[in-house]
Structure 1
Amino acid sequence: MKPAEATAVVPQVGPERTQQQPVPPKPPLDLLAELTNTPPPPPTPLRTLARRIKIWTPLVILLVIVFAIVQAVRPLPKPELTLTAKDSYTFEGGKVQLPWPGEGQGWMDVDDVGTVDSFGKQTPVPIGSVAKSMTAYIVLKDHPLKAGEEGPAITVDATAEKEGGYDADGESTLNTVKAGDKLTEKQALSAIMIPSANNIARLLARWDAGSEAAFIKKMNDTAKALGMTDTTYTDASGLKETTVSTAEDQVKLGNELVKIKALTDITRLPEWTDPSGQKWRNYNTLVPYNHAIGLKTGSTTKAGGNLLFAATEEVGGETVTLVGAVLGQHKAPIIDTVNAVSKTAMLAAQESMTASKILKKGDVVGYVDDSMGHHTPVVVTEDVPAVGWAGLTVKLSFAPADDLPHSAKAGTQVGTLTVGDGDSGAVKVPVALQKDLTEPGFTDKLTRIG
């Protein structure tokens, strides 16, 4: 061989390779095939699907486990109490019509139940000393008394002593007081509600608010708050003819007054003895008969005879309170007339009261809804009476317990069924579970949405 031929360069096939350029790694399957001398299987749709299943299945399983844990530990929705019984009850018979007088206006309610009847156009008219009912209401709101308490001492000022002499001009006053005397709050309230003392009404206004003008503003603000939209007060005693109201508005006030026992303990008395020992008669002659409890008379030449009155009545084991007002009686003697016509209406209203058993103990009246598709029935725990009169429709409503449980034994009280619109006069009966209330199971928790 020739030397030149021995050293000839071998031709390069393909890209030039150097020691600085490593060979690119082969795919794993190609490398495995090379090592095992087994070529990789050709790709097919089935093999591609199997590969994806192997990759995604663990992830899906993990997500399902996380979802199940979250559903299991999520707070349960708050249970709700739902009424399934009728939401009202109507007493049989036609509408009650009370025997009202031929003049003036009147209104009669059963406290916290509804209006029994009314007559006359409810237009604002002078009300005389009936205005002192608002005076007493504000004083007791600002200076509450418990039944039997005398309350703070009020010093009689020179003005009250001077105005005590106005009885010579026909005013109703407490003419036995002198400047510097002390009246307890109860005594002062007795003086305005029984002998209807104008001078003590004005004294109370000054004591409570600093001036009568400031007190009158309180009177009108309070009337507005009570919904007495046709009432205007211009004095604390009612002597001024510009102090006007309606029978309906005065009954709204009366419904609040009858809830204050310290006041009705005064107004139900037929007479009162003042600190000097003088006795004063109650101009409301309905008391102490036929369960009457007062409230306030009022009369002037312009206003005529006016009376805001109240009485109780026992019906079906329940005690209800009637509140009525009659205004504008001008037949002389006007106080006697308004007492007589009010008594006739009051007795008729008491006679019209009736009670009916609208549900029996154990009747299903609703259910506890766990908000996850399960309803557990609830029943009344005693007979449910309704108190009313012919033609009256009363409402039924549920009030759930403060914290309805997710699980409880049968018989557990879960709320109250109320018959009527008010509080003190409404009938309230506990409702309880008819059977065990069970907490939703794992499957319910797992499948709930929202």
Structure 2
Amino acid sequence: ATTALRAARPEPSPSAPPPAPPNGGERAPERTSRFVPLPSDAAPGPSSPTPATEDVPEPERTRQQPLPPTGERPLELLAALTNKPAPPPTPLRALVRRVKIWTPLVALLAVVLVAAQLLRPLPEPTLELTAAGSYAFDGATPELAWPEAGQAAVDVQGIGSFGTHGEQKPVPIASVAKTMTAYLLLKAHPMEPGEDGASIPVDAKAEKEAGYSEQGESTVRVADGETITQREALDAIMIASANNVARLVARWDAGSEAAFVERMNAAAEELGMTNTTYTDPSGLRDDTVSTAEDQVKLGRAVMEFEVFRDIVDKPAYTDRNGKEHDNWNRLVPLYGTVGIKTGTTTAAGGNLLFAATADVGGTRQLIIGAVLGQHQPPIIDSVLAAGKDLIQSTQKVLTARTIVEKGAVVGVVDDGLGGRTNLVATDDVVAVGWPGQSVELKLAAGEDPVPGEADAGTEVGRLTVGEGPGRVSVPVALAEPLGEPGAAAKITRVL
């Protein structure tokens, strides 16, 4: 900048006089050769003496090493920054490096995994049967006292069937059909033992049909406008075999007899009664047909109702008017007979659906059977005699065997993690059956779930043989203390 200013200002000639001041002013005094320093912000000209810059030390500059290439590995980069060369790579150094990096991560993961396994909820203990799952009675199946004519079938409820006798073709069953009427009434209007149940209003038709007794129908006297209890209706249907009351409850329950009959056939289908057709609630019509095998299926189902069992196990009942009505099934209460229903017409002959008990091996077994198509007069006596023979022959062939002794190991408690604790029977286990018959054993928990910890001798379940009311059930207990799975089992569990 100083050089530029000097170039722009003309140099005075040595011989030329100094210029006159403007406007006639005085001439400026002549400069001396004395050095006048320039202002601090002015730069010296080319002729001005320059300070001796050679003696001023040059400012110190920081020397920076060039950055290593970005593609270097971490250890090579660290070596470059520290000016220490990385050791040459070898498989051993690579392995050591990986171990140092991954060991802490693996250790942390292992700690987390172990903690999670220890804190996981334990599986529910279960019972497992280790004894034989079934028992077969020695010998050939015995021959029962089957009727000479018609058809029959017999079951021992919860144990098995003796099979059938005679051709199982649909035949008229007469008043045995009222068993289905009672079954549907109890299903739609449940009753507790000792209760009278719903109140059923009597209509004019039921009163009129009470007079059909003069035409040979079984009826009970009722009056239009009065009410009868559900229990009395069931007594009238199952003991007095009152056709008019059977039709009355059908109208009351379903709105019409036709609608009730539809329900009867739907229930038969549900029970697997494939050869049965109902056309009326009383069974008076000849086209209400079934088989002995089908009626045994219905007998098993209806005997599940305690109220029904109480009703059909009576030799007679007294109605609200004080009149006593005998049970048409005169086998009750003889020979262990506890029901169920007779049915007789000229077309159908004598028919009987029966239930009887047998005391065997300290248990009470329920026998259910049916005899149909007995036409030897008098037909009611013929069918009752056939039913009696069949009941007694069945009772005789039933036998009991001790299949598990008290204290024998019958199963284990499985804790779900590999731990198994033995279970023993707390009493002798008796099986009821007949030669050639096989019964099943089942092990199940009791009302309370299986505990995770318990002392030896604690009852944790039951061993059962058979099903239904005649089944044999014995408690099972721990043969040794039951404890929770150990830490090793918890940690190594997979699922």
Larger radius of gyration: 2
Q: Is the 8 A contact 2:157 2:468 kept in 1?
A: no
Pairing 1:396–2:446 present:
no
Pairing 1:340–2:382 present:
no
Deviations 1:90-114 (A, max 9, x none): 1222202111111111011112221
The one-letter amino acid paired with 1:29 is A
Aligned to 1:418: 464
TM-score in terms of structure 1 length: 0.89
**Correspondence 1:17-416 to 2 at 5 A:** 22-25=64-67, 27-29=77-79, 32=82, 42-174=88-220, 176-401=221-446, 403-416=449-462
Q: Is the 8 A contact 2:463 2:476 kept in 1?
A: yes
Following TM superposition, by how much is the alpha carbon of 1:31 offset from its aligned partner in structure 2, in angstroms? 5.7
| Higher mean C-alpha deviation, range 189-198 or range 322-331 | 189-198
The one-letter amino acid paired with 2:324 is K
Following TM superposition, by how much is the alpha carbon of 1:350 offset from its aligned partner in structure 2, in angstroms? 1.4
> Structure 2: which 5+ residue stretches go unaligned?
1-60, 69-76
Task: Describe the shift of the 1:390–1:44 C-alpha distance in structure 2 as closer, same or farther (beyond 3 A).
Answer: closer
Q: Is the 8 A contact 1:89 1:395 kept in 2?
A: yes
Following TM superposition, by how much is the alpha carbon of 1:117 offset from its aligned partner in structure 2, in angstroms? 4.1
The one-letter amino acid paired with 2:490 is K
Following TM superposition, by how much is the alpha carbon of 1:135 offset from its aligned partner in structure 2, in angstroms? 0.7
> Structure 1: which 5+ residue stretches go unaligned?
1-18
* Number of equivalenced pairs: 428
Three-state SS of the structure 2 residue aligned to 1:312 is strand
Q: Is the 8 A contact 1:254 1:323 kept in 2?
A: yes
Structure 2 Cα separation of the partners of residues 155 and 333 of structure 1: 37
Three-state SS of the structure 2 residue aligned to 1:424 is helix
| Higher mean C-alpha deviation, range 308-317 or range 276-285 | 276-285
The one-letter amino acid paired with 1:65 is V
Following TM superposition, by how much is the alpha carbon of 1:283 offset from its aligned partner in structure 2, in angstroms? 1.6
Task: Describe the shift of the 1:181–1:63 C-alpha distance in structure 2 as closer, same or farther (beyond 3 A).
Answer: closer
Structure 2 Cα separation of the partners of residues 393 and 40 of structure 1: 84
| Higher mean C-alpha deviation, range 287-296 or range 326-335 | 287-296
Q: Is the 8 A contact 2:335 2:388 kept in 1?
A: no
The one-letter amino acid paired with 1:157 is D
| Higher mean C-alpha deviation, range 49-58 or range 191-200 | 49-58
The one-letter amino acid paired with 2:329 is N
Aligned to 1:14: none
Q: Is the 8 A contact 2:177 2:283 kept in 1?
A: yes
Structure 2 Cα separation of the partners of residues 50 and 178 of structure 1: 106
Following TM superposition, by how much is the alpha carbon of 1:181 offset from its aligned partner in structure 2, in angstroms? 3.1
Q: Is the 8 A contact 1:98 1:117 kept in 2?
A: no
Following TM superposition, by how much is the alpha carbon of 1:268 offset from its aligned partner in structure 2, in angstroms? 2.3
Q: Is the 8 A contact 1:96 1:117 kept in 2?
A: no
The one-letter amino acid paired with 1:254 is G
Task: Describe the shift of the 1:286–1:406 C-alpha distance in structure 2 as closer, same or farther (beyond 3 A).
Answer: same
| Higher mean C-alpha deviation, range 335-344 or range 193-202 | 193-202
Task: Describe the shift of the 1:215–1:24 C-alpha distance in structure 2 as closer, same or farther (beyond 3 A).
Answer: same
Aligned to 1:11: none
Following TM superposition, by how much is the alpha carbon of 1:40 offset from its aligned partner in structure 2, in angstroms? 6.0
Structure 1 Cα separation of the partners of residues 351 and 436 of structure 2: 29
The one-letter amino acid paired with 1:23 is Q
Three-state SS of the structure 1 residue aligned to 2:470 is coil
Task: Describe the shift of the 1:245–1:59 C-alpha distance in structure 2 as closer, same or farther (beyond 3 A).
Answer: same
Task: Describe the shift of the 1:40–1:162 C-alpha distance in structure 2 as closer, same or farther (beyond 3 A).
Answer: closer
Structure 1 Cα separation of the partners of residues 294 and 243 of structure 2: 22
Structure 2 Cα separation of the partners of residues 396 and 300 of structure 1: 44
TM-score in terms of structure 2 length: 0.81
Task: Describe the shift of the 1:395–1:30 C-alpha distance in structure 2 as closer, same or farther (beyond 3 A).
Answer: same
| Higher mean C-alpha deviation, range 266-275 or range 217-226 | 266-275
Following TM superposition, by how much is the alpha carbon of 1:30 offset from its aligned partner in structure 2, in angstroms? 5.3
| Higher mean C-alpha deviation, range 147-156 or range 212-221 | 147-156
Task: Describe the shift of the 1:369–1:297 C-alpha distance in structure 2 as closer, same or farther (beyond 3 A).
Answer: same
The one-letter amino acid paired with 1:155 is P
Q: Is the 8 A contact 1:33 1:40 kept in 2?
A: no
Following TM superposition, by how much is the alpha carbon of 1:144 offset from its aligned partner in structure 2, in angstroms? 2.2
Q: Is the 8 A contact 1:91 1:390 kept in 2?
A: yes
Structure 2 Cα separation of the partners of residues 21 and 243 of structure 1: 118
Following TM superposition, by how much is the alpha carbon of 1:270 offset from its aligned partner in structure 2, in angstroms? 2.1
Task: Describe the shift of the 1:287–1:44 C-alpha distance in structure 2 as closer, same or farther (beyond 3 A).
Answer: closer
